[in-house]
Chains A and B, each alone.
Chain A
Amino acid sequence: MLEVKNLDVYHGWVQALRGVSFNVSKGEIVAIIGANGAGKSTLLGALAGLYRPQKGEILLKGKPVAGKPPEYMVRQGVSLAPERREIFNTLTVLDNLLLGAYHRYRAGKKEVIMDIEKTLELFPALKGREDHPAGTLSGGLQQMLAIGRGLMARPGLLLLDEPSTGLAPLVVREIMSTLANLKKTGVTIILVEQNTVAALKVAGRALVMERGQIVLSGSAKEIMGNPGVQQAYLGRTRMA
């Protein structure tokens, strides 16, 4: 469903992506791992329409979408749960979720309410806290809310930027198993993670990024077994 070809993205003078190419099929979970500053967030940002690529193509279901604004990408079913969560602290959990459905207000109240129920089924820990200010939630709940908010756009492609950062292993496991459930409903997921072990467990395929390029790609098993990856990422990662 997604084809990325030769993508170059700059932040001012800094080139953050250098000729990135890869494909993602429908219903896959693809993990992207790599050191700090490798360009993982930039890649997700480009897919979500936040950064305009200088070169290259992004095809979504065959349609060229590179350089389109985020509003357009959301309408096309691409939803991003950004790094550091970025939830709306003073607004309630419910309002956060409703804002995720921005482009679907015209779809009708009933549908949106149904989606909220579905989202809460997916993250039962949020139930009963609908009217709590989001800023008062624990880190784990905030992360669930950030993902849930992204899901309210009914995405076909969900982009997750380091959802496990700063969370206890138990919570990470809960979130990862939710992603596995989501995959079963047909949602395609690109998962950027520093927590390589957790990511490779849930993903079918993985890409390794270094200095703006994809240096390695393969099935999660292959990547897990790769000696270079083991040394660079698995050795240092906390076991989850």
Chain B
Amino acid sequence: MKHKNILLTVAFFLVAFLLPLFVKAPYQLHILILIFIWAIIGTSWNLLGGYAGQVSFGHAAFFGLGAYSAGLLTLHYGISPWWGMALGPVVAALASLPIGVICFRLRGPYFALAMLALGEIFRIVFLNIASFTNGAKGILIMPAITSKELYYYIGLLALAVTLLTTYAIVHSKIGYYLVSIREDQDAATSLGIPTTLYKNLALLPSAFFTGLAGALYMNYVAFIDPNIVFNLTNISVMAILVVMLGGVATTWGPTVGAALYIVLGELFRTTLGSANVLVFGVLVCLIIMFLPNGIVGELDLIKRMVTRKKTSLSGGV
């Protein structure tokens, strides 16, 4: 089982690495780059929400901070937004420290709501300190590079680093502490596990990589405004949905969910016109109803549905 997973992982990255040799159409590369960005967001969210069970409705805060770190560098100092790829994640991670200290005083739905409010606060603040952020006008940069291949490889590298880091955390002792907090925080506390510390240890990389996705987005799309990058439904809620579609607390779930979200979203947008959001919403509901553990979480069920045979209950990918 272990070897199979390693093989699959190597195969995935090999295929992804060679793909631009065959896929050259800008539109298709564009889709793949968006998938990478969303896979990074989902994988980051999953570490905190999936493994540690701390459901955040405010990850747009970290995405937006990453994006604005890159954008503001260029706007104010004329520094290449590529440096934002280094600065953005750090800013998001630093911001997560006080956020964790405050929000982890709350549990369950109260934590979720506090994070939701936080994301909105960032949006409103960035709209209103226009002298610094350009407010609703947003930030437009002239991208130095237009080659989609380059963005593709940077996105792939960023996703690889995100996946490897979260995998390493989840499969270390910390991963077990995080799951114990998700399963029963009171029990974890009474065993002497410092739960607040570990929640913060999950939030920190989660914010870091979400910030990385934000900085990449700024570089790639070249335009941001607070209503785009601090958006509650399009960023914070979609981050959760992507993970739920693919499989909560699985390694590959968020990536699979991101692919599904982007591909289906594009498909519906081009074929269904303004009904696309409705159809997409219904589809999401159906998947969550019939595959409550997401695509990756229900691989065995899916296999059985396809082959109509009973397969043994093996662990998820």
By a beta-carbon cutoff of 8 Å, the part of chain A in contact with chain B is: 48, 50, 70-71, 73-75, 79-80, 82, 86-91, 95, 98-100, 102-103, 105, 149-150, 153
Query: Would you call B179 and A80 a contact (CB within 8 A)?
Result: no
Q: How far is the CA of A87 from the CA of B179 in the complex (A)?
A: 12
With A95-B176, A99-B176, A99-B177 given, is the CB distance from A86 to B193 under 8 Å?
Answer: no
List of 8 A-B pairs having minimum Cβ-Cβ separation, nearest first? A74-B192, A86-B187, A88-B183, A71-B192, A86-B184, A80-B190, A88-B180, A102-B193
CA separation between A82 and B187, bound complex, in Å?
7
Q: Is the CB of B188 within 8 A of A99?
A: yes
- The number of chain B residues touching the other chain, given as a range, is 10 to 19
Instruction: Please give, as numbers and ranges, the residues of chain A lying within 8 Å of B194 by CB-CB distance.
Output: 71
Cross-chain contact B179 with A90 (CB below 8 angstroms)? yes
CB distance from A49 to the nearest CB of B (A): 8
Known contacts A95-B176, A99-B176, A105-B173; is A88 also within 8 Å of B184 by CB? yes
Docked complex Cα distance between A139 and B66 (Å): 48
A210 to B187, CA, bound (A): 26
30 contacts across the A-B interface (CB closer than 8 A): A50-B186, A70-B189, A70-B190, A70-B192, A71-B194, A74-B191, A75-B192, A80-B190, A82-B186, A82-B190, A86-B186, A86-B190, A87-B183, A87-B184, A87-B187, A88-B183, A88-B187, A90-B179, A90-B183, A91-B176, A91-B183, A99-B177, A99-B188, A99-B191, A102-B177, A102-B192, A103-B192, A150-B191, A153-B191, A153-B192
Min CB gap B234→A, angstroms: 31
A102 near B191 with CB under 8 A, answer yes
- Is the Cβ of A149 less than 8 Å from the Cβ of B180? no
Complexed CA–CA distance, A95 and B171 (Å): 12
B191 and A50 contacting across the interface, CB-CB below 8 Å:
no
Q: Which residues of B contact A100 (CB under 8 A)?
A: 191
Q: Which residues of A contact B177 (CB under 8 A)?
A: 99, 102
A50 to B173, CA, bound (A): 24
User: Complex formed: what's the CA distance from A149 to B176 in Å?
Assistant: 15
| Complex alpha-carbon distance, A237 and B179, angstroms | 38
Complex contacts, A48 vs chain B, CB 8 Å? 190
Which residue of chain A has the shortest Cβ distance to B187 in the bound complex? A86
| B191 contacts across to A, CB distance below 8 A | 70, 74, 79, 99-100, 102, 149-150, 153
Interface residues of B (CB under 8 A from A): 173, 176-177, 179-180, 183-184, 186-194
Structural contact, A89 and B190, CB atoms closer than 8 A? no
B187 partner residues in chain A, CB cutoff 8 A: 82, 86-88
Q: How far is the CA of A222 from the CA of B187 in the complex (A)?
A: 35
* Chain A residues, Cβ within 8 Å of B186: 50, 82, 86
Least CB distance, B136 to chain A, in whole angstroms: 44
Residues from chain A with a CB closer than 8 A to the CB of B179 are 88, 90-91
Residues of B within 8 A of A75 (CB): 192
Tell me the minimal C-beta distance from B228 to chain A in angstroms: 37
Report the nearest A residue to B188, measured CB to CB.
A99
- A121 to B189, alpha carbons, bound, how many Å? 26
Given A87-B184, A90-B179, A99 and B189 contact (CB-CB distance below 8 Å): no
Interchain CA distance A219-B180 in the complex, whole Å = 39
Q: In the complex, what distance in Å separates the CA atom of A71 from the CA atom of B197? A: 12
Residues in A with CB closer than 8 Å to B180 are: 88, 91, 99
Bound form: Cα–Cα A75–B191 in Å: 10
Which residue among A73, A86, A99, A150 has the maximum number of chain B CB atoms within 10 Å of its CB? A99
**A150-B188 Cα distance, complex, nearest whole Å:** 11
The minimal Cβ–Cβ distance linking A233 to chain B, given in whole angstroms, is 27
Q: Distance in Å from the Cβ of B292 to the closest Cβ of chain A?
A: 14
With A and B bound together, what is the CA distance between A199 and B293 in angstroms?
42
Nearest residue, chain A, Cβ from B184: A86
Nearest Cβ on chain B to A76's Cβ, whole angstroms: 10
Q: In the assembly, what is the distance between CA of A95 and CA of B173, in Å?
A: 10
Contacts of A71 in B (CB 8 A): 192-194
Chain A residue nearest to B185 (CB atoms) is: A86
Find out whether the CB atom of B184 lies under 8 angstroms from the CB atom of A50.
no
Nearest-CB distance from A170 to chain B (Å)? 26
Contact yes or no, A50 B190, CB < 8 A: yes
A73 to B189, CA, bound (A): 11
13 more contacts with CB within 8 A, not counting A70-B190, A89-B183, A105-B173, are A71-B192, A71-B194, A80-B190, A86-B184, A87-B187, A88-B179, A88-B180, A88-B183, A88-B184, A90-B179, A98-B176, A99-B180, A102-B191
Q: Nearest Cβ distance between residue A214 and chain B, in whole angstroms?
A: 23
Residue of A nearest to B183 (CB): A88
CB distance from A68 to the nearest CB of B (A): 11
